[in-house]
Every structure is written in structure tokens, then in C-alpha cells.
Structure 1
């Protein structure tokens, strides 16, 4: 009599059931990583805005210019106000060389503020650059709102 070794049908079904149960618990943890990616993108953008703003400020100081004199960074003319880039395309967008985000002015803001939205835009998922004005904001304020990411 030959003895055949291998798995029985019951053992194979039990392995499939166990794998199904494990995947039911593990899959939701990995299914939606889009929110984490959007948050990481906004945090990277905020860091870029802060860094480029400070680099433009340092260039202006190195040139010995006043608070509203434009500076040139990598061939880009950057408009300045109160020693830092303005909140527009000729200011912070030019200094950071940003092109992958939709920008819009923030209506009703007391200080010039530029909002950067991801494309496609999500509600309450953006970064903002609030320009320095010399009194309320001595330096620019960069904030991230990620409640809707």
C-alpha cells in the first residue's frame, strides 16, 4: 500500500479561512493612504514656503537692500515687502518656484494671504502663506489646515 502525503481538503480550507480573516483586519489599515500622502505633501509645501521666504530675506540682507526692494534668486525676481516675499505669484511663488498647486487669495483676510490647494482640491486641506506686514506679522506665517485631507 502506497502512502500519499499532503494536505487534506479540510486543512486547505482552514488556511484559506484564516488568510481571509487576517486580510479583513489588515486591509483597512493599508487601503486609504491618500490622506497621509496629502498631509505629507502639505507639510513639505509649508517647509518650502518657510525656507524660500527666509532665503529671500537673507539675500535681501546680504544685498544691503531695504524692506521693499526686490531680490533675484536663481534668475527669478522676487517682490518683497517688510523684508520678506509678498503673498503673490511674483513673491513667495517665485521664490519657492512652486507650480504644482492651485493658488488663491484669501478673501477678507486682514493681511495679504495666499492659499495653496492640492489639485484636485479638497475642502479644509490646504497651506497658507500670510505675508509679513512689519507690525502684526514681523515675519511671514505659514499654516497648514489638514482636517479634510
Structure 2
């Protein structure tokens, strides 16, 4: 009996070296173009935190304004509001909103971590407060000169109320965050 063997077909399994190199080049190109967008998100995070603190400052200002309205100080150019009802003035106000005073204004309406995590300054007329992360200036607490704050290009400016019926405004600079 003569048995004829069926011819065997050479079937390739796996990838060739050229296919592997092409895949590696494509993945490398994607990694180089996409990685920077995912690796450096700290700037976006700092800008978001700065904006959330600005929102907290506006909310605190509205709460102080409500207290000033109750005490009849919401139309006064300059006032002192008792926040906790102990008979002692707690915060300086301008037209019922926290002033730009470095020690007695909006900074006093913020939490205790405000003094250690943030650095702030005012102009000499106490019309505005500059605020940035303490880590960006390598210091913390109140600071009398706004130059190191502005140099970070990651700060906000709180402008106090300037007349009856106008609330404080906040301006953000986030190009250096």
C-alpha cells in the first residue's frame, strides 16, 4: 500500500520583526505626543484650587454681608462686624463686605489653614488683596509686598466693594500655575 502524504502548508504564527518594530514606533510616537498632557496636570489643579478659593472668598463675603445687613452696617463705607455675637468686632467691612485689610478683612473670614497654606498681601490703600499658594513663594502667612505673589503668575486679586450695592470682585491670573 502506497500512502501519499498530503503536502503540509507552512503557516506563519506570530508577528514578524518588521511588524513588531512598526508597532513599537507607533506606540512611541503616541507616548511622546500624549504623555505631556497627562503627566503635568499640577498647573490645571493649582488653577482649579485657586478658583475654588476665590469662590470661597465670595461666599464668605456674602455671609459677612448678611451679618452686616442684620447689624445695619451694609450701607456704611467703613464698618466693623461682630460675626459670632460676642460683642467684639471681628472683621472690617466696606459697604457690608469684607475689606481688603491684610489683618482684619477678607483674610479673617477664611479658615485657619489660610494662614499657613497661602500667602497674601494688600496694596497700601487696602482696596485689594493678592493671594497665592505659600509653596510657590516658599513662605506663608501675611506678607506686606505683593511682588513675590505677582511673580508667580498664579494668583488672585480680591477687590473690595467700592460703593453701596456693588459686591467685591475677583480677578485670576493662572498662566504660571
TM-score, structure 1 length as denominator? 0.78
**Alpha-carbon deviation of 1:40?**
1.0
Aligned partners of 2:106, 2:126: CA distance in 1, in Å?
A: 15
Aligned partners of 1:42, 1:69: CA distance in 2, in Å?
A: 27
How many residue pairs get aligned? The number is: 145
What pairs up with 1:117-128 in 2 under 5 angstroms?
117-118=132-133, 119-121=135-137, 122-128=151-157
Aligned partners of 1:74, 1:10: CA distance in 2, in Å?
A: 79
Distance of aligned partners of 1:43 and 1:142 in 2 relative to their CA distance in 1, 3 Å threshold: same
Distance of aligned partners of 1:24 and 1:4 in 2 relative to their CA distance in 1, 3 Å threshold: same
1:82 corresponds in structure 2 to 95
TM-score, structure 2 length as denominator? 0.67
What SS does structure 2 have at the residue aligned with 1:134?
coil
Aligned partners of 2:81, 2:36: CA distance in 1, in Å?
A: 51
1:93 to 107, 114, 126: 107
2:38 corresponds in structure 1 to 30
**8 Å CA contact retained: 2:64, 2:97:** yes
Unaligned runs of 5+ in 2: 1-7, 138-150
**Alpha-carbon deviation of 1:14?**
2.2
Aligned partners of 1:143, 1:103: CA distance in 2, in Å?
A: 14
Unaligned runs of 5+ in 1: none
Aligned partners of 2:92, 2:84: CA distance in 1, in Å?
A: 11
What SS does structure 1 have at the residue aligned with 2:53?
helix
Which of structures 1 and 2 has the bigger CA Rg?
Answer: 2
Deviation >4 Å, runs of 4+: 1-4, 73-76
1:106 corresponds in structure 2 to 123
1:59 to 60, 67, 86: 67
RMSD of aligned residue pairs (Cα, Å): 3.0
